[in-house]
Amino acid sequence: MAYENILYDVKDGIATITFNRPKALNALNGALLAELGEALDGIAADENIRVLILTGAGEKSFVAGADISELATFDSLKAKAFAAKGHAIIGKLQSLPIAVIAAVNGFALGGGTEIAIACDFIYASENAKFGQPEINLGVVPGFGGTQRLPRLIGANMAKELIFTGKMIEADEALQLGLANKVVPPEGLMDEVLNTAGVIASKGKVSLRAAKQAVNNGLDVDLANGCRLEIDAFSLCYASPDAREGTSAFLEKRQPEFKGSL
Ligand code: CO8
């Protein structure tokens, strides 16, 4: 499928989506969001893809937020439809049954931070900058920032970022637990691909079960979360991977995971 606003590539079970509107710092317009939604549907249906990486084209930006020239034309109803569409796509991203890594290579503002924090984790380049600047435009985050950011970095710090609209540097994002790792720009993709390769070598069924247990567990209390883990653990034994992993350990060899979803 030909895309105009994203680049899509798959190699060795690792898919990469690159937001590709570098002249607008990869701002999210309606056309880009539609292409992102289609690409995510294709990935969800593809048994061979083990990991998805999201990054931005050019050296300056991951995603500089929603396209402000489109936001400027909204009335209340259009704003609601746009925010709902963004939530549906970001929800799709978050619930993919594979690992999703954000390789944040520059500005991740507004919708850019919101996409990055819906991924499983973030590796950032030293020049990355995060923020929720919507308040400077007279609006609030509309793609999940008021909900996912407090869950990730705590309510008070999220409120400070959302109320001030200020940007934070990569090292502060690391301190806050927003980014897992910060690396020089030229090393970012190698670092991300290295971790993606490690994850791609694991069993699909156990990876999916682990992701669902963590994600769904965050929405419930500890006792119910632990029940989710019991189910996730037992579900793994429906796949030959559990037998293969434990046998490989006892036979002192590397496991070959082949279980399907
Ligand atoms: N939308 C459209 N165009 C943009 C955007 C954007 N978000 N960001 C940058 N651009 C364009 C600029 O207009 C400029 O275009 P041109 O060359 O044609 O003038 C080009 O990209 C380069 O940008 P700058 O010249 O401004 O580059 P600088 O290095 O000087 O500054 C910044 C970089 C700091 C990133 C600056 O461009 C900036 O502040 N951008 C806007 C960031 C922002 O406010 N993002 C949040 C948008 S709101 C949002 O994301 C809400 C999501 C949910 C919406 C739901 C709504 C219902």
131 phi, psi to nearest 5 deg: 175, 165
Residue range 231-236: average pLDDT? 96
142 CA → ligand 1 middle, Å: 16
How confident is the model at residue 242, as a pLDDT? 95
26 CA → ligand 1 middle, Å: 9
Q: Is there an atom of ligand 1 within 6 Å of 83 CB?
A: yes
pLDDT tens per residue, range 197-207: 999 999 999 99
Q: Is there an atom of ligand 1 within 6 Å of 32 CB?
A: no
Query: pLDDT class for 260, splitting at 50, 70, 90?
Result: confident
| Three-state SS sequence of 89-112 | HHHHHHCCCCEEEEEECCEEECHH
How confident is the model at residue 7, as a pLDDT? 98
pLDDT tens per residue, range 94-116: 999 999 999 999 999 999 999 99
Q: Is there an atom of ligand 1 within 6 Å of 245 CB?
A: no
pLDDT tens per residue, range 176-185: 999 999 999 9
Any residues with CB less than 8 A from the CB of 192 and at least 6 apart, and which? Answer: 53, 55, 101, 103, 123
Residue range 112-139: average pLDDT? 98
Has residue 34 got a pLDDT over 80? yes
Percent of the chain, pLDDT > 70? 99
Identical fold between 6-200 and 204-250: no
The yes-or-no answer on residue 160 being catalytic is no
C-alpha span between 187 and 197 (Å, rounded): 15
Count the neighbouring beta carbons within 10 Å of the beta carbon of residue 88.
Answer: 12
C-alpha span between 183 and 157 (Å, rounded): 23
Residue range 124-152: average pLDDT? 98
Q: Is there an atom of ligand 1 within 6 Å of 67 CB?
A: yes
Highest CATH level, class, for 6-200 = alpha beta
Cβ–Cβ < 8 Å for 171, 182:
yes
Kindly list the strands in the beta sheet with 61-63, ordered across the sheet, starting from the edge strand earlier in the chain: 61-63, 107-109, 129-131, 167-169
Q: Where are the domains of the chain?
A: 6-200, 204-250
Any residues with CB less than 8 A from the CB of 172 and at least 6 apart, and which? Answer: none
Q: Is there an atom of ligand 1 within 6 Å of 68 CB?
A: yes
Query: Quick one: DSSP state of residue 5?
Result: S
How confident is the model at residue 261, as a pLDDT? 60
Highest CATH level, class, for 204-250 = mainly alpha
The yes-or-no answer on residue 35 being catalytic is no
Q: Which one of 70, 134, 169, 244 is the catalytic residue?
A: 134
Percent of the chain, pLDDT > 90? 98
Q: Which one of 4, 114, 126, 191 is the catalytic residue?
A: 114
Has residue 122 got a pLDDT over 80? yes
Q: Is there an atom of ligand 1 within 6 Å of 63 CB?
A: no
Q: Is there an atom of ligand 1 within 6 Å of 79 CB?
A: yes
3-state secondary structure of 122: strand
138 CA → ligand 1 middle, Å: 15
Among 5, 19, 23, 25, which residue has the most ligand 1 atoms within 8 Å of its CB, making it the best to mutate?
Answer: 25
Query: pLDDT class for 155, splitting at 50, 70, 90?
Result: very high
C-alpha span between 112 and 144 (Å, rounded): 11
Q: How many CA atoms lie within 13 A of 140 on its CB side?
A: 9
How confident is the model at residue 1, as a pLDDT? 66
Among 60, 63, 67, 68, which residue has the most ligand 1 atoms within 8 Å of its CB, making it the best to mutate?
Answer: 68
pLDDT tens per residue, range 41-90: 999 999 999 999 999 999 999 999 999 999 999 999 999 999 999 999 99
How confident is the model at residue 259, as a pLDDT? 81
Residue minimizing CA distance to atom 45 of ligand 1:
65
